[in-house]
Structure 1
Amino acid sequence: MSISFGAEVCIKQLNNPFPEPYLTHALRNTVERAFLQAGAKLGCKEGTQEVNVAVLELKENPAGISPSQRVNVYELNLSFKLKFKGEEKNYGAKVSYSLPSGAEGDIGRRFAIDDALNIIYPKLLEDLRRRYKHVDKL
Structure 2
Amino acid sequence: MRFLTFLLLWTAVVLGEVFCVEDVENPTNDPYIGYSLQRVTEKALLEGGFVLSCEEGARRVRIRVISLEEIPIAYTPRQRVSSYNMILWAEVRLNGRSIKVGGAVPYTLPSGGYGDVPRRKAVDDL
Q: TM exceeds 0.5?
A: yes
1:106 equivalent in structure 2: 116
Task: Report percent identity of matched pairs.
Answer: 35
The partner residue of 1:80 within 55, 78, 90 is 90
1:51 equivalent in structure 2: 61
CA distance, structure 2, for counterparts of residue 96 and residue 103 of structure 1:
19
Counterpart AA for 2:28: F
Q: Which runs of 4+ in 1 moved over 4 A?
A: none
The partner residue of 1:25 within 21, 35, 51 is 35
Counterpart AA for 1:63: I
Residue segments in structure 2 that go unaligned for 5+ positions in a row? 1-10
The alignment partner of 1:15 has SS state of coil
Deviation at 1:104, TM superposition (A): 8.9
CA distance, structure 1, for counterparts of residue 82 and residue 113 of structure 2:
7
Counterpart AA for 1:88: S
Asked whether the equivalents of residues 66 and 102 of structure 1 are also in contact (C-alpha less than 8 Å), the reply is no
Asked whether the equivalents of residues 97 and 108 of structure 1 are also in contact (C-alpha less than 8 Å), the reply is yes
The yes-or-no answer on 1:66 pairing with 2:76 is: yes
Counterpart AA for 2:71: N
CA distance, structure 2, for counterparts of residue 74 and residue 20 of structure 1:
16
Aligned residues: 114
Residue segments in structure 1 that go unaligned for 5+ positions in a row? 117-138
The yes-or-no answer on 1:3 pairing with 2:5 is: no
Counterpart AA for 2:56: E
Counterpart AA for 1:3: L
The yes-or-no answer on 1:92 pairing with 2:107 is: no
1:122 equivalent in structure 2: none
Return the TM-score normalized by structure 2. 0.82
C-alpha spacing 1:103/1:58, structure 2 compared with 1 (3 Å): farther
Per chain length, whose mean CA-contact separation is higher, i.e. which structure has more relative contact order (CA < 8 Å, sep 6+)?
1
Counterpart AA for 1:58: L
The alignment partner of 2:15 has SS state of coil
Return the TM-score normalized by structure 1. 0.75
